[in-house]
Structure formats: C-alpha cells, structure tokens
C-alpha cells in the first residue's frame, strides 16, 4: 500500500530527535567515523608519499576555492559572466558567519573544513535515523556506514557542500516520514539554498505534503514552502542577470544544461565500451551512475516510501539528464543515500562475518578510491 506520513498527535514526540536518540545512533556514528578516519589515514599517507599537504588538499582545492571566495567577498554581479553565481549561498554564508563569531584566528578554509566534518556527522545521524525508522537499528547502522564508505566519500570531509546538503536532505526526509511538516519545510528551504539539487528535497516534501494535505493543513503549507529556498536563489540570479533564465544561462556557460540524458549515454558508451584505455576515475564514475540507476529500480521494487523515491528519482533525473561535465557526477549523487537501502537491508540480514566482510571491503575500497581521486586523477572530484 502507498506510504502515508505519520501524523502528529498532541502526545507525539517534539519536533526534535527524542531523548536517547543519540545513544541509539552511537554505533552508526562510531562506524561512520571509523570508515572516514581510515580514509583520512590512507589519504594522509598517500599525500605524504607524493609530497602534498593534507590540509590544502581537503580545504583549498577546486570548488572549495569558489566557496571561500564567496564567503570572503560575496558574489560578483557586475561582470558579463559572474561564474560564482553557479554556487548556492548557504555553505559560504555559514562560513562567513562562523568566521565572524568564532574566537581565535582560524582561517575561513579551516572553518569550512570543520563545518563539513560536523555536517557529515549530522548527515550520518540523519541517514541512520531514516534507515532505523524504516527497517530497524541494524539496518540504519549499516546504511550510515555504507554512506561513509561510498566510492567518493572522501568529499564528505572536504570544503564542499555534500555533507551539509546530505544532512539537510536526510533530516528533511526523516521529518516527512514522521509527519513533522514544519521541520520538513524548513530543512527543504535550507537544502534549496545549498545545492541546485535542493530541488529534489523540495519535490519530496512537496509531493508528500500535497498527498497529506486533506488530513493536515500543515502539510499543504509545507508543500508550498519547501521550494522557496531554491526558487529564491534562482529568482535572485535572474534579477541580477536581467533575464528570467539567468541562473540557467550561468550554468550553460559552465557547460551544464539539460539534454535529457544524451550526453550521459554517449559518455557511458565511450568510457565503458569504445575507449581502449579510459581514465580509471571516469570509469568509476560511469559504474557509479549505472549502479545508482539499478539501485533505484530495486528501491521502486521494494516499495520504498514515496518521499524517498521522489527525492532519489529527481536527483537521478537531474544528474543523468545533465549535459555537463562527467567527472563530478558520482559526487553529485553522494547525497542519494536512500539508493543504498536495498544493500543495507541485505547486509543487515546477513550473518555477522558476511556483513563484516562487506563493510570492511567497502571501507578499504573507499579509502583507496579517495586517494586516487584526490592525488592521481588530475581533475576536480
């Protein structure tokens, strides 16, 4: 039967994780930390052998430099092509705020990196909470560990937005599953100010809210509020650029535009079929995209709750339907943790030695792939 969000009642728990929830999530958080610390140790050793510093590798490379520039100087709105308008404002805004209020002499880059690490823990907790609610504590723990052991999970501890966005998305979905509409709407607005794919969170909250609107007025309000963050930023860029499609014009100048998946299909054929020696990292990205699509079919077959299916469906639609650059697409799918639920359920039901073998293998492969992505691949992650 279709999923119906649990309505709130006067006796229901408050709109925050209930007392003891952190204790319940502790094994998941410790498992997530263990996986990421393993990845960090491998990366630190690899960086040392190649003569690189670990801190600049994590805090001051590629897109993190754009966010730091926005945090320090704001958006450049005057040039004919203000490239930084492609980056949404919440993460650099938080970095700027923390730089102003925190004591000491921490650099904005260090603050951004610390923010990403803290947000990754909040994200792992939210991922666990969703898995725990749907399938129990063991599945939630496995789900959080698998998210931390994703092929490109090294990005979770970089000055990027993936950890912040995943935290907002996970807790928004958890709020929807519990019928906590005010929290769901607020988190969806924040997600919409974090990444272009915040549209997927807004869609999940919006669809769930509209379906529940007959039973609860707050659900309709949440559905109408959820996209305001994304629409607000896109609307502001339109005003700055002086054209209704200003944000999409900026994205086109970056080489990103919707093409329905034509570029995706050509790239998959090129990297997996026709090219005699494709770059290894691009092959990994291609395999991640194919596996993500296959896992979504499994999620549909498992009849996951509709908000989760909408979130991952829109996320996949945006990423696979884009005609933009290829190498960051696995990173773009990193927040799509519900795609890992079928794997998490299977591992959680397996015998302990099988589960340990799978999770250890995932952690080791993630650690190695993180080092390859940041130290061997010569492009952005």
Q: Is the dihedral of CA 175, 181, 182, 185 positive or negative?
A: positive
Copy the structure tokens of residue 318: 């945006």
pLDDT band at 15 (very low <50, low <70, confident <90, very high): very low
- Specify the pLDDT at position 5: 56
What is the pLDDT of the chain when averaged over all its residues? 93
pLDDT band at 80 (very low <50, low <70, confident <90, very high): low
pLDDT band at 6 (very low <50, low <70, confident <90, very high): low
- Specify the pLDDT at position 352: 95
Query: What is the rounded average pLDDT of the residues 222-229?
Result: 98
**pTM for the model:** 0.94
Residue 121 has pLDDT above 90, yes or no: yes
pLDDT band at 16 (very low <50, low <70, confident <90, very high): very low
Q: Please state, in angstroms and rounded to a whole number, the distance separating the CA atoms of residues 38 and 52.
A: 18
**Nearest CA among 102, 179, 146 for reference residue 345:** 146
- Specify the pLDDT at position 78: 67
Query: By the 8 A CB rule, do 158 and 370 touch?
Result: no
3-class SS of residue 89: coil
Residue 120 has pLDDT above 90, yes or no: yes
Q: Which of 116-120, 142-146, 181-185, 276-280 has the lowest mean pLDDT?
A: 276-280
Residue 370 has pLDDT above 80, yes or no: yes
Copy the structure tokens of residue 39: 């990845």
Residue 211 has pLDDT above 70, yes or no: yes
3-class SS of residue 258: strand
Q: Please state, in angstroms and rounded to a whole number, the distance separating the CA atoms of residues 121 and 317.
A: 27
For residues 319-333, b (16+ Cβ closer than 10 Å) or e, as one string? bbebbbebbbbbbbb
Torsion of Cα atoms, 38 then 154 then 198 then 109, to 10°: 110
Percentages helix, strand, coil for the chain (3-state, rounded to 5) are 70, 0, 30
pLDDT band at 104 (very low <50, low <70, confident <90, very high): confident
Query: By the 8 A CB rule, do 221 and 121 touch?
Result: no
Copy the structure tokens of residue 17: 């994780």
Q: Give the relative orientation of helices 137-148 and 341-349 as an angle to the nearest 10 degrees.
A: 120
pLDDT band at 329 (very low <50, low <70, confident <90, very high): very high
Q: Please state, in angstroms and rounded to a whole number, the distance separating the CA atoms of residues 198 and 12.
A: 29
Residue 257 has pLDDT above 90, yes or no: no
User: For residue 159, how far is the Cα from the chain centroid?
Assistant: 13
Residue 4 has pLDDT above 80, yes or no: no
Q: How many CB atoms sit inside 10 A of residue 51's CB?
A: 6
């Amino acid at each position: 039967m279709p999923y119906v969000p649990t309505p709130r009642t006067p006796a229901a728990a408050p709109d925050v994780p209930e007392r003891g929830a952190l204790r319940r999530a502790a094994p998941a958080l410790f498992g997530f930390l263990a996986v990421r610390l393993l990845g960090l140790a491998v990366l630190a050793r690899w960086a040392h052998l190649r003569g690189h510093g670990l801190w600049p590798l994590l805090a001051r490379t590629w897109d993190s430099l754009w966010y730091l520039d926005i945090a320090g100087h704001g958006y450049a709105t005057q040039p004919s092509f203000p490239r930084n308008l492609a980056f949404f404002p919440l993460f650099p805004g938080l970095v700027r705020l923390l730089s102003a209020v925190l004591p000491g002499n921490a650099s904005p880059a260090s603050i951004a990196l610390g923010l990403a690490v803290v947000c990754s823990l909040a994200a792992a907790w939210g991922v666990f909470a969703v898995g725990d609610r749907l399938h129990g504590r063991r599945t939630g723990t496995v789900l959080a560990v698998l998210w931390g052991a994703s092929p490109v999970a090294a990005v979770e501890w970089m000055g990027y937005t993936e950890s912040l966005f995943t935290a907002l998305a996970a807790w928004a979905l958890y709020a929807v599953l519990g019928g906590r509409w005010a929290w769901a709407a607020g988190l969806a607005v924040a997600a919409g100010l974090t990444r272009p794919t915040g549209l997927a969170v807004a869609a999940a909250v919006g669809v769930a809210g509209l379906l529940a609107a007959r039973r609860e007025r707050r659900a309709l309000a949440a559905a109408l509020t959820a996209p305001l963050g994304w629409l607000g930023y896109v609307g502001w860029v339109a005003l700055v650029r002086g054209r209704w499609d200003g944000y999409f014009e900026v994205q086109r100048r970056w080489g990103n535009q919707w093409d329905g998946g034509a570029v995706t299909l050509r790239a998959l054929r090129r990297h997996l079929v026709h090219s005699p020696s494709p770059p290894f990292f691009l092959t990994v990205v291609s395999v991640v995209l194919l596996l993500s699509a296959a896992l979504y079919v499994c999620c549909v077959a498992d009849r996951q709750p509709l908000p989760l299916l909408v979130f991952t469906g829109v996320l996949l639609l945006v990423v696979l339907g884009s005609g933009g650059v290829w190498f960051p697409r696995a990173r773009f799918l990193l927040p799509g943790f519900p795609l890992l639920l079928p794997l998490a359920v299977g591992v959680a039901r397996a015998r302990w030695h099988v589960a340990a073998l799978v999770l250890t293998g995932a952690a080791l492969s993630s650690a190695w792939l993180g080092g390859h992505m940041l130290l061997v691949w010569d492009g952005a992650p």
